[in-house]
């Protein structure tokens, strides 16, 4: 089976602890491109946070962002599709978070809206490179459909909060996570795999010809369904259990190692 398309998560997968693409990872991606492979970034991040990395790599492909809620060209800026959260659901979630006292980030357009700056927002800006916009209590009502809502909790409360969202918004939201205290809320049916599969189909690539690489809960569906699902060594156990291959960690060029392995003459046989 020839792998024709490679889709990689960013944080804690393609990026190292310094939020950088290592020289070896970059070289491997360029070799894959030279060999005619398609390389996609599939992330929970917003488009404007991903685009600089894609441009550095010279990727002229659709970028899977917001966990698949927006697929947009890295160079062209063309919107391939959007799948935003319905307004009634978004406002119900905002009211719910206000009542519970949860810290949340509302992703509208190219902006991250918050109530007020705090340690959570500063930490997120450090990771993403994107400044948040504080709007006070206006945060708790939106007139524009968001791509997603991110809720941050204390690590020890995370599992309970996740379960409560799943129960209270059953059928209204897809709930997943990208880090131990990042709860990602999207419109039902929105996930990285559906977006990657759609992009692949536009290139005439079948699911069995896709390799997906990731580390966290929002990567499970694409890793479980791809022809070759790959977990980095630092991935969560739930991700490893769904992977066909476990590569090295994000700090040890795991993405490069698995890409190099499919570029060998033996892999093409």
Strand 245-246 to 62-65 pairing? unpaired
| Cβ(132)–Cβ(105) below 8 Å | yes
Residue 268 has a pLDDT of 44
pLDDT above 70 as % of the chain: 98
Residue 269: pLDDT above 50?
no
List pLDDT tens digits, range 136-145. Answer: 999 999 999 9
Q: Which of 217, 233, 196, 222 is nearest to 61 (CA)?
A: 196
* φ/ψ (deg, to 5) at 177: -145, 155
For the record, the structure tokens of 65 come out as 């962002």
Contacts of 269 (CB under 8 A, 6+ apart): none
Question: Cα(91)–Cα(149) distance, rounded to whole angstroms?
Answer: 11
List pLDDT tens digits, range 63-83. Answer: 999 999 999 999 888 898 899
For the record, the structure tokens of 67 come out as 């966990």
Please spell the DSSP secondary structure of 45-96, one letter per residue.
Answer: S-HHHHHHHHHHHT--SEEEEGGGTEEEETTT--EEEE-PPPHHHHHHHHHH
Mean pLDDT of the chain, nearest integer? 92
Residue 71 has a pLDDT of 94
List pLDDT tens digits, range 33-57. Answer: 999 999 999 999 999 999 999 988 8
Residue 108: pLDDT above 80?
yes
Residue 22: pLDDT above 80?
yes
Question: Cα(27)–Cα(131) distance, rounded to whole angstroms?
Answer: 30
Domains, in order of start, for the chain: 5-82+190-268 (3.40.50.1000), 87-186 (3.30.1240.10)
* Angle separating helix axes 47-57 and 23-34, nearest 10 degrees: 70
Q: What angle do CA 250, 226, 18 make, to 5 degrees?
A: 15
Count how many Cα atoms sit within 13 Å of the Cα of residue 70 in the half-sphere of its side chain.
Answer: 26
């Amino acid at each position: 089976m020839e792998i024709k398309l490679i889709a990689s998560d960013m944080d804690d997968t393609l990026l190292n602890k310094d939020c950088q693409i290592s020289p070896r990872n970059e070289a491997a991606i360029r070799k894959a491109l030279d060999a005619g492979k398609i390389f996609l970034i599939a992330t929970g991040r917003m488009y404007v946070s991903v685009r600089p990395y894609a441009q550095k790599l010279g990727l002229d492909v659709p970028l899977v962002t917001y966990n698949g809620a927006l697929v947009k060209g890295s160079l062209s800026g063309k919107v391939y599709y959007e799948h935003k959260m319905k307004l009634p659901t978004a406002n119900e979630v905002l009211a719910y978070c206000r009542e519970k006292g949860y810290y949340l980030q509302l992703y509208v357009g190219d902006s991250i809206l918050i109530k007020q700056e705090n340690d959570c927002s500063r930490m997120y800006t450090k990771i993403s490179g994107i400044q948040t916009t504080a709007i006070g209590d206006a945060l708790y009502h939106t007139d524009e459909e968001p791509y997603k809502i991110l809720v941050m909790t204390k690590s020890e409360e995370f599992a309970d909060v996740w379960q409560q969202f799943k129960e209270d918004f059953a059928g209204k939201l897809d709930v997943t996570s990208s880090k131990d205290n990042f709860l990602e809320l999207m419109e039902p049916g929105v996930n990285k795999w559906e977006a990657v599969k759609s992009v692949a189909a536009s290139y005439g690539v079948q699911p069995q010809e896709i390799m997906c690489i990731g580390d966290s809960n929002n990567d499970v569906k694409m890793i479980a369904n791809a022809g070759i699902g790959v977990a980095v060594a630092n991935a969560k156990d739930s991700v490893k259990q769904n992977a066909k291959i476990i590569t090295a960690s994000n700090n040890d060029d795991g993405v490069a190692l698995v890409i190099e392995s499919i570029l060998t003459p033996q892999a093409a046989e």
